[in-house]
């Protein structure tokens, strides 16, 4: 009797207990190497720290450690130089690298996985990866913030209608509107920083789920990799993906903020508004209508909000209902993360370019403040200052607006005598109050749109971003 050949399974790092080769369909279905190869740098960094720890603890010799480090460096160069051959039958990045290492350096390579499991290994790789990418996102957010601040500086003094319900509400400074986005992105940066702080906890050493009996030193690995703490519970460590969910949530909010801006740019660049002109280099044409110039970039940024939100939803659903600890479902965490990151980074960087290619139509914006009774609240506040209860003032001004509407005129068009038929408290100084500049500059409350407040906010923003 001859031995049944075991061609593929024996090549597997976990092949020992199997007597049949894995079905090709299974290899195809379970493989993640086509996307998790992205983690190779972090996988190698984690393995190097792990190997150093093993040597320090006497679990491998210094020579073995040196061979491992040298082999991993070489593999890193091969992957970077596109000469590394990835093997789908080795499932993922972890086993592709480990197998290649053993083929390169022999038995020392087989010692690398001592006291470690792919379950804690992948938790480490992902955290290392997100730590780097989170910082990259922060840099892009700061660049976009600078774009807003530059525009706010350039257009300081320009008035425009501020909207609620997309109805003209009260006049504001364009710079105030732009700095609202500075604030949103500032919170996005803070949110990401918080996420990274919770995420930067070293998971290696949880092993498969229960820890290990081998004398490892987790604190050492943490220090090697620049983490200040280690995870507390081995079962939580390999089962947890909160950090990835939180990261995806941060990405989603960023994309939603960009999407809101995108929506405004689409509206504002339309003939109906004509508030802004997007530079030709950042627009596209129509294949049938020769006159068209379309705001495709903001539209796509807005469209991609669905995609990033979908990634968050996808991982939320993957995690829901998983029993402790690691389950293969968790392999589904990577694609949404990669896709969300690609999308958010591309959107942030093109949006920053777009901001530098906007020209606001200040006359059009100014003109739009003149219709729509936008200083009605100022008139009510004027009466309040003369001691009329606000609710009464609201009623009085409402009746004045109704009269204006009936006649098709604006508040400033009414004669003083006419205004006084509604309230004797109204005097000649009302016209200054009803002017757009008067209205804007009266809003001096902290965080308000008065030019003094906006100029202060702008100074603070510039200082924070290191713009002089
Ligand atoms: N590729 C796997 C993942 O991304 C690595 C961990 C596999 N662990 C296991 N026990 N099969 O989740």
pLDDT (tens digit, 0 to 9) for every residue of the chain, 468 residues total?
445 444 445 578 888 888 899 999 999 999 999 999 999 999 999 999 999 999 999 999 999 999 999 999 999 999 999 999 999 999 999 999 999 999 999 999 999 999 999 999 999 999 999 999 999 999 999 999 999 999 999 999 999 999 999 999 999 999 999 999 999 999 999 999 999 999 999 999 999 999 999 999 999 999 999 999 999 999 999 999 999 999 999 999 999 999 999 999 999 999 999 999 999 998 888 787 888 889 999 999 999 999 999 999 999 999 999 999 999 999 999 999 999 999 999 999 999 999 999 999 999 999 999 988 999 999 999 999 999 999 999 999 999 999 999 999 999 999 999 999 999 999 999 999 999 999 999 999 999 999 999 999 999 999 999 997
Q: Is the domain of 354 the same as that of 394? A: no
Contact 380, 397 (CB under 8 A): yes
Distance 32 CA to ligand 1 centre (A): 9
In a domain, 11, yes or no: no
Residues classed as catalytic: 165, 286
Q: Is the domain of 131 the same as that of 152? A: yes
**What is the H or E stretch that residue 452 is in?**
helix 451-465
How many domains does the chain divide into?
Answer: 3
pLDDT tens, position by position, 144-195: 999 999 999 999 999 999 999 999 999 999 999 999 999 999 999 999 999 9
- Using a 10 angstrom Cβ sphere, with 0-12 exposed, 13-18 middle and 19 or more buried, the burial of residue 82 is exposed
Which atom of ligand 1 is found nearest the CA of 333?
4
Which residue's C-alpha comes closest to atom 2 of ligand 1? 331
Q: What is the pTM of this model?
A: 0.94
Distance 446 CA to ligand 1 centre (A): 52
Tell me the CATH number at 57: 1.10.275.10
Question: Which position has the token pair 């007597």?
Answer: 19
Which residue's C-alpha comes closest to atom 11 of ligand 1? 328
Q: Is the domain of 217 the same as that of 346? A: yes
Query: Is any ligand 1 atom within 6 A of the Cβ of residue 330?
Result: yes
Query: Is any ligand 1 atom within 6 A of the Cβ of residue 318?
Result: no
Residues whose CB is less than 8 angstroms from the CB of residue 161 and which lie 6 or more positions away in sequence, other chains included: 168, 169, 170, 171, 172, 365, 368, 369, 372, 374
Alpha-carbon distance of 164 to 125, in angstroms, equals: 45
Q: Is the domain of 197 the same as that of 217? A: yes
Chain mean pLDDT for the chain: 95
User: For residue 208, what are the domain limits?
Assistant: 119-365
Query: Is any ligand 1 atom within 6 A of the Cβ of residue 92?
Result: yes
Q: Is the domain of 155 the same as that of 262? A: yes
In a domain, 17, yes or no: no
Choosing from 42, 46, 97, 119 the residue with most ligand 1 atoms within 8 A of its CB, the one to mutate for a pocket test is: 119
CA atoms within 13 A of residue 42's CA, in its CB half-sphere: 20
Q: Is the domain of 187 the same as that of 272? A: yes
Q: Is the domain of 155 the same as that of 284? A: yes
In a domain, 386, yes or no: yes
Which residue's C-alpha comes closest to atom 3 of ligand 1? 331
Query: Is any ligand 1 atom within 6 A of the Cβ of residue 32?
Result: yes
Tell me the CATH number at 300: 1.20.200.10
pLDDT tens, position by position, 52-88: 999 999 999 999 999 999 999 999 999 999 999 999 9
In a domain, 128, yes or no: yes
Distance 328 CA to ligand 1 centre (A): 6
In a domain, 6, yes or no: no
Distance 34 CA to ligand 1 centre (A): 14
Distance 419 CA to ligand 1 centre (A): 76
Q: Is the domain of 350 the same as that of 395? A: no
DSSP characters over 226-254: T-SEE-S-HHHHHH--HHHHHHHHHHHHH
CA separation, residue 245 to residues 4, 221, 242, 309, 314 (Å)? 46, 25, 5, 11, 10
Tell me the CATH number at 394: 1.10.40.30
Q: Is the domain of 217 the same as that of 306? A: yes
In a domain, 165, yes or no: yes
Query: Is any ligand 1 atom within 6 A of the Cβ of residue 128?
Result: no
Contact 115, 210 (CB under 8 A): no
In a domain, 181, yes or no: yes
Alpha-carbon distance of 411 to 431, in angstroms, equals: 9
Report DSSP state, residue 60.
S
Query: How big is the chain by its Cα radius of gyration, in Å?
Result: 31
Q: Is the domain of 353 the same as that of 385? A: no
Helix-then-strand count for the chain, H and E:
19, 6
Choosing from 122, 125, 241, 338 the residue with most ligand 1 atoms within 8 A of its CB, the one to mutate for a pocket test is: 122
Contact 6, 19 (CB under 8 A): yes
Which residue's C-alpha comes closest to atom 4 of ligand 1? 331
Which atom of ligand 1 is found nearest the CA of 326?
10
Query: Is any ligand 1 atom within 6 A of the Cβ of residue 361?
Result: no
In a domain, 190, yes or no: yes
Q: Is the domain of 136 the same as that of 280? A: yes
Domain end call among 86, 114, 142: 114
pLDDT of residue 284: 84
Q: Is the domain of 209 the same as that of 248? A: yes
Domain end call among 348, 365, 382: 365
Domain end call among 365, 383, 408: 365
Query: Is any ligand 1 atom within 6 A of the Cβ of residue 119?
Result: yes
Which residue's C-alpha comes closest to atom 12 of ligand 1? 331
């Amino acid at each position: 009797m001859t031995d049944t050949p075991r061609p593929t399974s024996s090549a597997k790092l976990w092949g020992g207990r199997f007597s049949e080769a894995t079905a090709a369909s299974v290899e195809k279905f379970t493989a993640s190497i086509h996307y998790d190869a992205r983690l190779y740098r972090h996988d190698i960094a984690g393995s190097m720290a792990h190997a150093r720890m093993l040597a320090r603890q006497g679990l491998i010799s210094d020579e073995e450690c040196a061979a491992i480090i040298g082999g991993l460096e070489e593999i890193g160069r091969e992957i970077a130089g596109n000469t590394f051959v990835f093997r789908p039958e080795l499932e993922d990045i972890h086993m592709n690298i480990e197998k290649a290492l053993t083929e390169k350096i022999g038995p020392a390579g087989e010692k690398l996985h001592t006291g470690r499991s792919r379950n804690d290994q992948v938790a480490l790789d992902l955290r290392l990866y997100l730590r780097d990418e989170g910082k990259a996102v922060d840099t892009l957010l700061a660049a976009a913030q600078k774009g807003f601040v530059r525009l706010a500086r350039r257009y300081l003094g320009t008035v425009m209608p501020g909207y609620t319900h997309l109805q003209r509400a009260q006049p504001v400074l364009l710079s105030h509107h732009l700095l609202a986005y500075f604030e949103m992105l500032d919170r996005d940066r803070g949110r990401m920083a918080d996420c990274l702080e919770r995420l930067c906890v070293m998971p290696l050493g949880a092993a498969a789920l229960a820890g290990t009996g081998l004398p490892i030193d987790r604190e050492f690995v943490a220090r090697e990799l620049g983490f200040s703490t280690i995870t507390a519970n081995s079962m939580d460590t390999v089962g947890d993906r909160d950090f990835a969910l939180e990261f995806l949530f941060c990405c989603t909010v960023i994309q939603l903020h960009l999407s809101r801006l995108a929506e405004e740019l689409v509206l504002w660049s339309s003939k109906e508004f004509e508030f802004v002109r997007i530079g030709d280099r950042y627009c596209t044409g129509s294949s049938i209508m020769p006159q068209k110039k379309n705001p495709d970039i903001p539209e796509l940024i807005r469209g991609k909000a669905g995609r990033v939100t979908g990634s968050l939803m996808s991982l939320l659903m993957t995690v829901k209902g998983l029993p402790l600890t690691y389950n293969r479902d968790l392999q589904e965490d990577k694609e949404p993360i990669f896709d969300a990151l690609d999308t958010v980074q591309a959107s942030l960087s093109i949006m920053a370019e777009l901001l530098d290619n906007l020209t606001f139509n200040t006359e059009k914006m100014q003109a739009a403040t003149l219709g729509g009774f936008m200083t009605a609240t100022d008139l009510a506040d004027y009466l309040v200052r003369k001691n009329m209860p606000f609710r009464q003032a609201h009623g009085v001004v409402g009746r004045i607006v109704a009269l204006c509407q009936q006649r098709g005129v604006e508040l400033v068009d009414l004669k003083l005598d006419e205004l006084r038929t509604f309230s004797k408290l109204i005097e000649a100084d009302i016209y200054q109050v009803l002017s757009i500049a008067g209205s804007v500059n009266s809003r001096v409350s902290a965080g308000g749109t008065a030019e003094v407040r906006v100029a202060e906010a702008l100074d603070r923003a510039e200082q924070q971003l290191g713009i002089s």
